[in-house]
Amino acid sequence: MSAGGSAAVAPRQDAVPAVALRGVSVAYALADGGRYEAVQPVDVTVEDGEFVAILGPTGCGKSTLLNIAAGLMAPSSGTGTIFGRPLAGLNAVAGYLFQQDALMPWKTARDNVAIGLEVAGSTRAAALEAAAAMLKRVGLAGFGERYPHQLSGGQRKRVALAQVLVRRPKILLMDEPFGPLDAQTRLIMSELLLDLWQADRKAVMFVTHDLDEAIALADRVLVMSAGPRARIIGEFPIPLARPRDVAEVRSEPEFHRLHAAIWGCLRDEVRKTYALAAGEGRA
Amino acid sequence: MSRPKLLALQLLVAVVALLVWHLGSTVPLGLGADGKPFFLLPKFFFSTPLDVLARVWTMFASGEVYRHLAITLVEAMLAFAIGALAGIVIGFWFARKPLVAAVFDPYVKMMNALPRVVLAPIFALWFGLGIWSKVWLGVTLVFFIVFFNVYQGVREVSPVVLSNARMLGMNERQLLRHVYWPAALAWVFSSLHTSVGFAVVGAVVGEYLGSSAGLGYLIHQAEGVFDVTGVFAGMLILMVFVMAIDFVVTLVEKPLLVWKPGETKTV
Ligand SMILES: Nc1ncnc2c1ncn2[C@@H]1O[C@H](COP(=O)(O)OP(=O)(O)OP(=O)(O)O)[C@@H](O)[C@H]1O
Ligand SMILES: [Mg+2]
């Protein structure tokens, strides 16, 4: 396979970007009246149809950035635009797969998936049918009648994925979606995600702490520095040809070159995070 | 422990207690100083289990007790329905309007601090000696339990679940229906046994303090003439009555709370 950027890799440059964060910074108000400067002004752009992965040490502000893009939180400074329109209030064209469990515990898996269509005006029958089909796609046919507490952590994540995908959002925000899954399931889910994404290329902002996963999936990898005042310290286009085989791609020489380059960028930041934490522990 | 074994032990406790009561009240320990037989549990104060059972039997056989049971049941059901409805509506209102909650907070606490028994005479004055003074007494008890639970339930909806529901495109009305309402209802149901119990307490206490019908009235009447057998018979009927209601509540709540992580069964 050629490593050169094929036409399939390059995003459509003519269109307006799906997500454009300009000079966005975030400071959290602390309970004691102070402020925690989580993210320094950063620029993040995700083109329509582009798959962007965000890597960074724990606590650097990855979820924070996704919350801004989702419109759940206003930035302390800077602006966001979604397909050229200023982001005010919720981002209605985005689907957000949360890092934490976010299913409604009082609804069955099927109802959890169907509800997004129902509130948008689908008939219940149509919504349930679509939900059942989507659950089947994520490998949960036959689990529709279970309540979240009757599912494993990985199964819950897959229900959440179905819940987001069934609405066909134009932008996908995913926060460590495969975090609690075992290595094999991660691989299968990554494949599934790429399949679904390949079918109707959405813009994706994908947060992960797994370097291999980021390279295997993304068109572009952003690396964030350790907080506080986290910045984007590296941007790596991933010129691996598509469609990709998530497992095979890991044995390509280009993959290893990228891995080494990105890890070189990330390593020091990860160390910094732990050094900082150890220092605080002593104080 | 296996179920039959547990049941046997539970029965044993009842048998022992009844036996002690029976022997204590019928078998004299000896002669007192005045030459009369001396009992551990004198009949005048403690009656005997057989007398109490016989009294319960005649009360049912003569049919006189049904009217009182029906009255207490109606009072308790009305108290529960009105108290729960008011608690749900106002609990929701307070939870969604923090300003309202902040303004009324001290008054709610003051009202709840009041032991409700002292309201019984004034309610009798306001609403008469019929069922409504008992119903309102029950309402003041049920309302606060349901109110606090709904308030808590609505305010403690997981922020992530809420954010997720918003991202799924729910408007305020849909959030209310699909998120706040089920969350609050779970809390209401977790306190259902307590609130139903208090509805009965309100009814019985009200009857006890002034009425012409109901289980509380029966017990009060018997006490008035030192009829200990009658008091115990009334209490026994009341206990079984409350347990029967509790059983119905359990039947009702089971299918409504299937989504709650409870005891996990393996086979
Ligand atoms: N509500 C808040 N109040 C104060 N500080 C916060 C709040 N939320 C997050 N933070 C801080 O902001 C920083 C970034 O948090 P964020 O959740 O975005 O990290 P993250 O990169 O997603 O980490 P992880 O990989 O562990 O999920 C952290 O240091 C965190 O402690
Ligand atoms: Mg996070």
Q: What is the tens place of the pLDDT at every residue in B160-202?
A: 999 999 999 999 999 999 999 988 888 888 888 889 999 999 9
Q: Measured between alpha carbons, how far is residue B80 from residues A137, B111, B136 in Å? A: 47, 18, 10
Nearest CA to ligand 1 atom 16: A61
**Which residues line ligand 1 at a C-beta cut-off of 6 Å?**
A 28, 30, 36, 38, 56, 58-64, 99, 209, 227
Choose from A82, A117, A119, A147 for mutation: most chain B CBs within 10 A. A119
Please provide the average confidence, as pLDDT, over all residues in chain A: 88
pLDDT digits (tens, 9 = 90+) for B40-74: 888 888 999 999 999 999 999 998 899 999 999 99
B166: nearest CA in chain A?
A: A90
Write the residue in A92, A100, A149 that is nearest to B160 by C-beta: A100
Of the pLDDT bands very low, low, confident and very high (cuts 50, 70, 90), residue A4 is: very low
Q: Which pLDDT score is estimated for A282? A: 46
Q: Which domains does chain B have, with CATH numbers?
A: 1-46 (no CATH), 48-256 (1.10.3720.10)
Q: Is the ipTM of this complex over 0.90?
A: no
Q: Which chain B residues contact residue A94 at CB under 8 A?
A: 167
Q: Do B160 and A102 touch (CB under 8 A)?
A: yes
Q: Tell me: pLDDT of A12 over 80.
A: no
Q: Tell me: pLDDT of B156 over 50.
A: yes
Q: Do B183 and A106 touch (CB under 8 A)?
A: yes
Q: Which chain A residues contact residue B178 at CB under 8 A?
A: 104, 107, 115, 119
Kindly report which listed range (A2-16, A122-136, A149-163, B73-87) carries the lowest average pLDDT score.
A2-16
Q: Which pLDDT score is estimated for A279? A: 61
Ligand nearest to the CA of A27: 1
pLDDT digits (tens, 9 = 90+) for A47-99: 999 999 999 888 899 999 999 999 999 999 999 999 989 998 899 999 999 99
For residue A62, the CA-to-ligand 2 centroid distance in Å is: 6
Q: Tell me: pLDDT of B31 over 90.
A: no
Share of chain B above pLDDT 90, in %: 63
Nearest CA to ligand 1 atom 11: A38
Q: Do B168 and A70 touch (CB under 8 A)?
A: no
Q: DSSP for B100-157?
A: HHHHHHHHHHHHHHS-GGGHHHHHHHHH-SSHHHHHHHHHHHHHHHHHHHHHHHHHTS
Ligand nearest to the CA of A58: 1
Q: Tell me: pLDDT of A6 over 50.
A: no
Q: Do A98 and B164 touch (CB under 8 A)?
A: yes
Nearest CA to ligand 1 atom 24: A58
Most confident of A246-250, B137-141, B255-259: B137-141
Q: Which pLDDT score is estimated for A7? A: 42
